[in-house]
Amino acid sequence: QIDSARLWGTIHETAKFGATPKGGVRRLTLGPEDKQVRDWFRERCEAAGLEVHVDALGSMFGLRKGRDMSKAPIGLGSHLDTQPTGGKYDGVLGTLAALEVVRTLNDAGIETETPICICNWTNEEGSRFAPAMMASAAYVGDFTTDDILSRKDAEGVTVAEALDSIGYRGDAPVGRQKFSGFVELHIEQGPILEAENKTIGVVDSGQGVLWYDGKITGFESHAGSTPMPLRRDALATLSEIVLAMEAIARKHGPKAVGTVGEAVIANPSRNVIPGEIAFTVDCRSADAAIMDALDRDLRAAIAEIAARRKVDVQFDLIWRKPPTHFDPKLVDAVENAAKMLGYSHRRITSGAGHDACNLNTVMPAAMVFVPCKDGISHNELEDATQADCAAGANVLMHTVLALAGV
Amino acid sequence: QIDSARLWGTIHETAKFGATPKGGVRRLTLGPEDKQVRDWFRERCEAAGLEVHVDALGSMFGLRKGRDMSKAPIGLGSHLDTQPTGGKYDGVLGTLAALEVVRTLNDAGIETETPICICNWTNEEGSRFAPAMMASAAYVGDFTTDDILSRKDAEGVTVAEALDSIGYRGDAPVGRQKFSGFVELHIEQGPILEAENKTIGVVDSGQGVLWYDGKITGFESHAGSTPMPLRRDALATLSEIVLAMEAIARKHGPKAVGTVGEAVIANPSRNVIPGEIAFTVDCRSADAAIMDALDRDLRAAIAEIAARRKVDVQFDLIWRKPPTHFDPKLVDAVENAAKMLGYSHRRITSGAGHDACNLNTVMPAAMVFVPCKDGISHNELEDATQADCAAGANVLMHTVLALAGV
Ligand SMILES: NC(=O)NCCC(=O)O
Ligand SMILES: NC(=O)NCCC(=O)O
């Protein structure tokens, strides 16, 4: 059994790095608060006897030796960055539970056959730089390191510059640290476990993700003197696109979601009809055929709206992550650990993306979910109980022990 | 006849203060470019023998003596501030034509019975600070000077601070400079004169304006893991409001317009459902009963949308300017001048708001319109011909001469 109070203490200790007045955390990837939590994490890893190294995209790896050092370690962990108005658990629980597993094994003097390696992946959130799960995507070869290093945030700062500014551009080539498998603990970020009163979600699949960058070019003109029929209003166009996205997602019932998360009017003024808007779309499904339908229907809707409103809409797919089917053997290992520990559990699909989804494409991977209050995440009110966090960490530990061998 | 080339020269000379790459002007009220054009204007007024003073809200007045100094002068002029992506003519034409009238009278040695006073009103555009026509509204007593001085721009800078920063907080109390009447020349900013091939618009009325500040509070949550039916999406709510505003305005055919010009998502992120959005609404009609209907219908639509989407919408009327009916005698004077000069003309309603609309509530006022290309304004592509600008300035001069007496 892990030390529940110690785990809980670390979660609340790190929540001060970027704490917001509403009780949440704002710790954008590679910003000053991210540096603070990284320094903290490195120090605690080293204090726990781990050998820490950082790769060229800033991902952090803390190695605990095993008896058979010829074997690639079992990886566990998650991420320490947050959304602009994020919570205290998303990513943090999985990373600090990994540290807690190491501390528990140390305290109990347990040695594993296979080494284990705890991870903090850079830019899981995808708010500052696109795509989400950026570093693990590069790890599995979906993008080159150079491509990712050149990505820019809204202020034009590149990943390379951001890494250098906090001193976290490591020496290790991305992908050099190999793993025999990867297990990630996370809050569910959805309402199912809580509604069904289950402690553990045995995650067997994950939704695919489509991310788009859009730009609408209408025509700026005077809000008072331009007759309605002569307008080419970029915001009215966006409004139709937002509602079309919503309707298309709803058509697929619980099997799809779609969101416009960002929309910025260029040179806005109260008495100017908006002429240019940049926007983003995020849509998802666990079913690859539905993902194709979402893409097709959305493009058709946008083409119709743009033609009718005589505006130009540029609409580019910038990221496509197919649905994830986690490794059946690892999923079973998670389920067995939950059973063995006597926690109520069910199989579940992840609505959110996770680094484990990327890693699963090159190694066996699986995930453990615990409930979060009202299913709320990506919100400062995100909450979870100490008991559920500890239960998740115990399942994580016993899954890792089963895989690494004692 | 005014000097067409000289007028045209000043328009293009001042267009360099805030010139944009696309051929427009960005000269936000009380910003550094506004200071440049104000300094230029003051210098040219003084060179033309005018006595210049500035009031407590930065409005500039250049007095040309008349034979009977016991009479309040006839005012003429407009404004020199522009939209963020504005053109070279909106406001500028009317202000520089007033200067050109003075220069022409000087050159011809013409003295008037009543003095004349050329004006540059502060913040006509209303982009940086609300409301539009701010200084003339205070002049007529719609707002107190102190109220206006405390208004803030998006960065939190007050009007008082902005005035001080460019050295244009004058000594004269707002309203002290009296006028016997006011005449303003302006580009039409709409498509009617051009479509009907008329040179002069004799403006007999102006639309009323309703400005609102809105704020939608939904609930931020995860774009991937929040099922569609559980969302309280602030952007989807705004989208419905934008389309409702559009439909309501269209219902009143050519007699109303409605626009959402600004919309800002708080803490936006691609994978977060927008939880809070601030937005503005501008709607207008020349018919007071239709203005009431717009307000009523819009509030009803917003209430229905907010209740159905379980979000909170704050919606505050921040400015209500009733429709304008210009002084019939002054309107006739404009028409007579156009006739006398042989220009094709028609009566017209102003779609835009103007300082003359405010001034008309406390003195006889009227306006002269000239065509602008494709009716485009509040756009960098705003354009007008030298001949039309000169025609407008001639009508302005002869209207003023008829009112001031030679
Ligand atoms: N787990 C999580 O919130 N990941 C962020 C990436 C995404 O799914 O949008
Ligand atoms: N004339 C003009 O564009 N005024 C700006 C104020 C408004 O009508 O919105």
pLDDT score of B155 = 96
Atom of ligand 1 at shortest range from CA of A125: 5
Residue for token digits 């007529």?
Answer: B140
Q: What are the φ/ψ torsions at residue A354 (nearest 5 degrees)?
A: -145, 155
Residue A230 CB neighbours (<10 A): 15
- Binding site residue list of A for Zn(2+): 79, 90, 125, 186, 378
Q: Is B132 in the pocket of ligand 2 (CB under 6 A)?
A: yes
Residue A30's alpha-carbon distances to A38, A55, A81, A125, A379, in angstroms, are 9, 14, 8, 11, 20
- What pTM was computed for the model? 0.96
pLDDT score of B65 = 98
pLDDT score of A135 = 98
Nearest to B348 by CA among B382, B315, B324, B317: B324
Nearest to A37 by CA among A62, A10, A57: A10
Q: Which ligand has an atom closest to residue B132 CA?
A: 2
Query: Are the beta carbons of A280 and B270 separated by less than 8 Å?
Result: yes
Q: Is A188 in the pocket of ligand 1 (CB under 6 A)?
A: no
Q: For residues A54 and B127, what is the distance between their CA atoms, to the nearest angstrom?
A: 48
Side chain identity, residue B195: A
pLDDT score of B324 = 98
**Mean pLDDT on B366-371:** 98
At residue B156 the predicted structure's pLDDT band, cuts being 50, 70 and 90, is very high
Residue A185's alpha-carbon distances to A9, A96, A137, A361, in angstroms, are 17, 10, 18, 18
Closest residue on chain B to A280 (Cα): B270
Nearest to A217 by CA among A262, A159, A182, A267: A267
Q: Are A172 and A55 in contact (CB under 8 A)?
A: yes
Cα Rg of chain A (Å, integer): 22
Beta strand B74-78 with B181-187 is parallel
- Give pLDDT tens digits for A277-290: 999 999 999 999 99
Q: For residues A132 and A81, what is the distance between their CA atoms, to the nearest angstrom?
A: 11
Nearest CA to ligand 1 atom 7: A353
Residue A370's alpha-carbon distances to A214, A329, A341, A395, in angstroms, are 35, 20, 14, 10
Q: For residues B92 and B88, what is the distance between their CA atoms, to the nearest angstrom?
A: 7
Q: Does any CB of chain A come closer than 8 Å to the CB of residue B238?
A: yes
At residue B75 the predicted structure's pLDDT band, cuts being 50, 70 and 90, is very high
Residue for token digits 């994978």?
Answer: B271
pLDDT score of B223 = 98
SS3 of chain A: the string is CCCHHHHHHHHHHHCCCCECCCCCECCCCCCHHHHHHHHHHHHHHHHCCCEEEEECCCCEEEEECCCCCCCCCEEEEECCCCCCCECCCCCHHHHHHHHHHHHHHHHHCCCCCCCEEEEECCCCCCCCCCCCCHHHHHHCCCCCHHHHHCCECCCCCEHHHHHHHHCCCCCECCCCCCCCEEEEEEECCCCHHHHHCCCEEEEEEECEEEEEEEEEECCCEECCCCCHHHCCCHHHHHHHHHHHHHHHHHHCHHHCEEECCCEEECCCCCCEECCEEEEEEEEEECCHHHHHHHHHHHHHHHHHHHHHHCCEEEEEEEEEECCEECCHHHHHHHHHHHHHHCCCEEEEEECCCCHHHHHCCCCCEEEEEECCHHHCCCCCCCCCCHHHHHHHHHHHHHHHHHHHCC
Nearest-neighbour CA in chain B from A112: distance (Å)? 35
Q: For residues A210 and A259, what is the distance between their CA atoms, to the nearest angstrom?
A: 11
Atom of ligand 1 at shortest range from CA of B223: 9
Side chain identity, residue B293: A
Half-sphere exposure of A7 (CA within 13 A, CB side): 31
- Give pLDDT tens digits for B164-222: 999 999 999 999 999 999 999 999 999 999 999 999 999 999 999 999 999 999 999 99
Q: For residues A69 and A80, what is the distance between their CA atoms, to the nearest angstrom?
A: 28
pLDDT score of A342 = 98
Is residue A290 exposed (0-12), middle (13-18) or buried (19+ Cβ within 10 Å)?
buried
Nearest to A60 by CA among A48, A43, A83: A43
Interface of A with B in 167-196 (CB under 8 A): 188-191
- Give pLDDT tens digits for B101-151: 999 999 999 999 999 999 999 999 999 999 999 999 999 999 999 999 999
At residue A104 the predicted structure's pLDDT band, cuts being 50, 70 and 90, is very high
SS3 of chain B: the string is CCCHHHHHHHHHHHCCCCECCCCCECCCCCCHHHHHHHHHHHHHHHHCCCEEEEECCCCEEEEECCCCCCCCCEEEEECCCCCCCECCCCCHHHHHHHHHHHHHHHHHCCCCCCCEEEEECCCCCCCCCCCCCHHHHHHCCCCCHHHHHCCECCCCCEHHHHHHHHCCCCCECCCCCCCCEEEEEEECCCCHHHHHCCCEEEEEEECEEEEEEEEEECECEECCCCCHHHCECHHHHHHHHHHHHHHHHHHCHHHCEEECCCEEECCCCCCEECCEEEEEEEEEECCHHHHHHHHHHHHHHHHHHHHHHCCEEEEEEEEEECCEECCHHHHHHHHHHHHHHCCCEEEEEECCCCHHHHHCCCCCEEEEEECCHHHCCCCCCCCCCHHHHHHHHHHHHHHHHHHHCC
- Give pLDDT tens digits for A136-193: 999 999 999 999 999 999 999 999 999 999 999 999 999 999 999 999 999 999 999 9
Q: For residues A278 and A280, what is the distance between their CA atoms, to the nearest angstrom?
A: 7
Nearest to B228 by CA among A206, A194, A250, A241: A250
- Give pLDDT tens digits for B241-261: 999 999 999 999 999 999 999
Residue A22's alpha-carbon distances to A31, A56, A83, B198, B263, in angstroms, are 20, 34, 14, 60, 24
At residue A6 the predicted structure's pLDDT band, cuts being 50, 70 and 90, is very high
Q: Which ligand has an atom closest to residue B354 CA?
A: 2
Query: Are the beta carbons of B273 and A267 separated by less than 8 Å?
Result: no
Q: Does any CB of chain A come closer than 8 Å to the CB of residue B312?
A: no
- Binding site residue list of A: 79, 90, 125, 186, 378
Residue A378's alpha-carbon distances to A30, A90, A127, in angstroms, are 18, 8, 11
Q: Report the Cα A146 to chain-centroid distance in Å.
A: 21
Q: For residues B367 and B182, what is the distance between their CA atoms, to the nearest angstrom?
A: 8
Nearest CA to ligand 1 atom 5: A125
Q: For residues B297 and B279, what is the distance between their CA atoms, to the nearest angstrom?
A: 18
Q: Does any CB of chain B come closer than 8 Å to the CB of residue A321?
A: no
Q: Are A404 and A112 in contact (CB under 8 A)?
A: yes
Pull the structure tokens for residue B80: 């020199």
Do the annotations mark residue B186 as ligand-binding? yes
Query: Are the beta carbons of A242 and B219 separated by less than 8 Å?
Result: no
On average, the pLDDT of chain A sits at 98
Atom of ligand 1 at shortest range from CA of B271: 9
pLDDT score of A189 = 98
